[in-house]
Structure 1
Amino acid sequence: MNNDETSSGKPVRHLLGLSGGKDSSALAIYLRDRVPEMEYFFADTGAELPETLEYIDMLEDYLGKRIVRLNAERDFDYYLKLHNNYLPSPKQRWCTVNLKLVPFEQFVGSDSVVSYIAIRADEPTRSGYISSKTNIKTKFPFKEDGLDKQDIIDILVSSGLGLPEYYNWRSRSGCYFCFFQRQDEWLGLRQNHPDLFEKAKQYEKTDPETGKAYTWNQAGTLEEIIDKAQNSKNKMTKNRKANKLIDNFANDDDEDDDGCLICTL
C-alpha cells in the first residue's frame, strides 16, 4: 500500500476547493503538475459576481481539467426561504454552512481525502476550514513551502491569468452581497454592477410589526451605507490612488474573516 491508497485498496482523493479568489486560484496553478490527480470544485452560491464566474472558467481552461460545480439546485435563495427570509450575518453564517461547508463534506462522502488549503506562509493566525471528519486530512502547501502574498501574485501573473477583475474595487471573492464588505466595496458594487446592488437592496426589509430593520450591515441600510461611503470617497480615493490593485492587498481585511475563510481564499 502506498500513500495514495487506503487499506481497502481504494485511492485517496486529492481535493482543492476554489473560490475565485487569488489564493486558491494560485494554489491550483501551483499544484497542477505536482498533484496531477487533483480534483477541483467550486461551491457556487448562485450569488457570485460575474467576474468570479468568468475567472473560474478561465482557470478551468488553464488547468485542463473540469472544475466540479456544487449547489447546482440549491442556491442562496433556497436556503434563505428555509431560514424564514432572515439574512445571514457575522453571527449567523448559515450561508457559509449550507453553501460551502455542507456541500464540501457531501462531495467528499466517506472517501479518504486530502484537502489542500491555500493559507500562505505570511498568515500565521489563519487556519482555514478544517473538517472534524477523520477521513479528511488537510495540507497547506504554501505554508510548507514558505510562499507569501507576493509569491501568490507572481504565480497568477506568470500564468497569464492575472488577477480577477473584481480586485479593482473589492478585496475579496464571495457573494456580491457579502456582509463582510466594507462601505467602499458596497459603493464599488453599485458603480460596477448597479443591477446586483439593486438586487441586494431588495433583500433588505423592515418588520412591519416591530419596525426592526433586517439589513446586510449593522451600520444601516445599503442606501445609508452608500451615503457614508460617498461622503468619504474623495479621502479614500486619495489614500488608495497609489496602491489601487496589487499593492492594495497589503491593506485588505479579508484576513480577519477566518469564519468565512472558505469563501474568501
Structure 2
Amino acid sequence: MVERHVLGISGGKDSAALAVWMRDKHPELDIDYFFTDTGEELPEVYEFLGRLEGYLGKPIVRLNPRRDFRFWLREYNHFLPSPQTRWCTRMLKLRPFEEWIKPWLAAGDKVVSYVAIRADEDYREGYSAKAPNLIVRLPFREAGVDKPGVVDILESSGVGYPKYYEWRSRSGCTFCFFQQKIEWVRLKEHHPEAYEEAKELEKDALEHGSPFTWSKGESLWDMEKPERIVEIKAEYEIRRARLRRSIPINPLRPVKECPEDIDDVYGEDEGGGACVVCHK
C-alpha cells in the first residue's frame, strides 16, 4: 500500500498558508499540491499560484474539469449557482478532485488530504471522505493556528497575499455568488470585461426562468447604476467602521489584517458561508 498526501490550493490565503506551513513543518512528506481550475478564475489567482510554486519548489497540479462552467450552466437549465444550489462547487471542484484520486483509492492506497480550516473556525466542516482509505486532516485546527497565525505564516515566508485581496475577499470563481455587493462593484472597476460577462450570464439565466441573480435580490444591471454604486460604497464603509469599533483590542496580540480584510463585513442579505473548497 502506498501512502499519498494531497493539499488543495484554492487561490486564497488560508490554503496557501497551509501549503507553506506543511512544507516547512513536514519536509519529510511528499505532498501533491493541486488547484482545480474552473476556467473562470481571476488573473490574480494565476499570478499568485506561480509565486506560491516558487516557494514550494514544486508545481501545483492543475485539475481541469472535462466540462467547463458554461457546460454545466446549460445542464442545470441555465440556472445560476446559488447558496441553495452549489452545482459549481460540486461539478467543477469536488468531482475533478474525486476523479483525480479515484485510481489511487481503487488501488488500495491511503490518501491523506489536508484542508485549511483554521482553529478559530469551529463552524466549518471539511470534505467528508467517501472512502475508508481517504483520510481528511485539518492541521491548522490540530495545531491551534488561527487567522492572525495565517497572516504571520504568509508574511514571514515572503509569499504574501494574492493581489485581489486589495479589493476582494473571495478566491475561486470570478463570478462567485458569495461576493458582497461591494465586491461586485469592485469587480466592475478592476475587471470590467468580467463584470460584463457576468451580466450576460445573469441575463441568459433570467430569460430561462432562473429564480436567482448573482447577488440576492438585485441584478448586476441595477447594481452598476452610478447612484447605486455610491449607495453600496457608503453602506459598506458604515458597516466596516461599525465592525472595527466592535473588535476588542488585545495589546498582547494586535490584530493584523490582510490588505483588504472585508470577509466579515456583511450587509443585509449578504452572508458568509462560502464553500470551503473554493474560498479557503
Query: In structure 1, how many angstroms separate the alpha carbons of the residues matched to 2:208 and 2:185?
Result: 29
Query: How many correspondences in the alignment?
Result: 255
| Structure 1 residue identity aligned to 2:273 | D
What residue is the counterpart of 1:261 in the other structure?
276
Q: Deviations over 1:187-214 (max 9, x none)?
A: 0100111011011111012679887665
Q: Quick one: distance in 2 between partners of 1:195 and 1:223?
A: 14
Residue 175 of structure 1 corresponds to 173
Tell me the amino acid that sits aligned with residue 257 of structure 1.
Answer: G
Q: Which moved more, 1:212-221 or 1:143-152?
A: 212-221
What amino acid is aligned across from residue 145 of structure 2 in structure 1?
L
Residue number in structure 1 paired with 2:236 = 236
Q: Deviations over 1:230-251 (max 9, x none)?
A: 3231353466488984472572
Match of 2:47 in 1: 54
Name the aligned partner's letter for residue 171 of structure 2: S
Whether contact under 8 Å (2:65, 2:92) holds in the other structure is no
> How do 1:105-120 and structure 2 match up within 5 A?
105-109=98-102, 110=105, 111-120=109-118
What is the aligned-residue identity percentage? 46
Map of 1:7 onto structure 2? none
Name the residue aligned to 2:20: 29
Match of 1:15, as an amino acid? V
Whether 1:164 aligns to 2:155 is no
Task: Check the 8 A contact 2:114/2:136 in 1, yes or no.
Answer: yes
Answer yes or no: is the 8 Å Cα contact 1:187–1:230 preserved in 2: no
Kept in 1, the 8 Å contact 2:11–2:45? The answer is yes
Identify if the C-alpha distance between structure 1 residues 249 and 130 changes in structure 2 by more than 3 Å, giving closer, same or farther: farther
Q: How far is the alpha carbon of 1:76 from its aligned partner? A: 1.1
1:205 alignment partner, SS class = helix
- Once residues 257 and 194 of structure 2 are traced to their aligned partners in structure 1, the CA distance between those partners, rounded to angstroms, is 23
User: Hey, what does 1:224 align to over in structure 2?
Assistant: 222
Cα displacement string for residues 51-84 of structure 1 (whole angstroms, at most 9, x for unaligned residues) = 1111111111211111110115422122222223
Q: Distance in 1 between matches of 2:86 and 2:50?
A: 27
| Structure-1-length-normalised TM-score | 0.86
Using the size of structure 2 for normalisation, the TM-score is 0.82
Q: Deviations over 1:22-78 (max 9, x none)?
A: 000000000014153000100000000111111111111211111110115422122
Query: Which structure 2 residues correspond to residues 201-220 of structure 1 after superposition, within 5 A?
Result: 201-205=199-203, 214-220=212-218
Q: Which residue of 2 aligns with 1:251?
A: 264
Counterpart CA distance in 1 for 2:84 and 2:139 is 30
Aligned-partner SS, 2:261? helix
* CA distance in 2 between partners of 1:84 and 1:182 (Å): 25
Alpha-carbon distance in 2 for matches of 1:207, 1:55:
32
Give the partner amino acid of 1:44. D
| Most deviating of 220-229 and 139-148 | 220-229
The 3 A distance-change label for structure 1 pair 255 and 26 is farther
Is 186-195 or 162-171 further displaced after alignment? 162-171
- What residue is the counterpart of 1:128 in the other structure? 126
What does residue 80 of structure 2 align with?
Answer: 87
Unmatched segments (≥5 aa) in structure 1: 1-9
Partner Cα separation in structure 2 for residue 196 and residue 13 of structure 1:
38
Alpha-carbon distance between aligned partners in 2 of 1:103 and 1:38, rounded to the nearest angstrom: 18
Relative to structure 1, is the Cα distance of residues 167 and 79 closer, same or farther in structure 2, using a 3 angstrom cutoff?
same
- Please report how far the alpha carbon of residue 133 of structure 1 lies from its aligned counterpart in structure 2 after TM superposition: 2.1
What stretches of structure 2 of length at least 5 have no aligned partner? 245-255
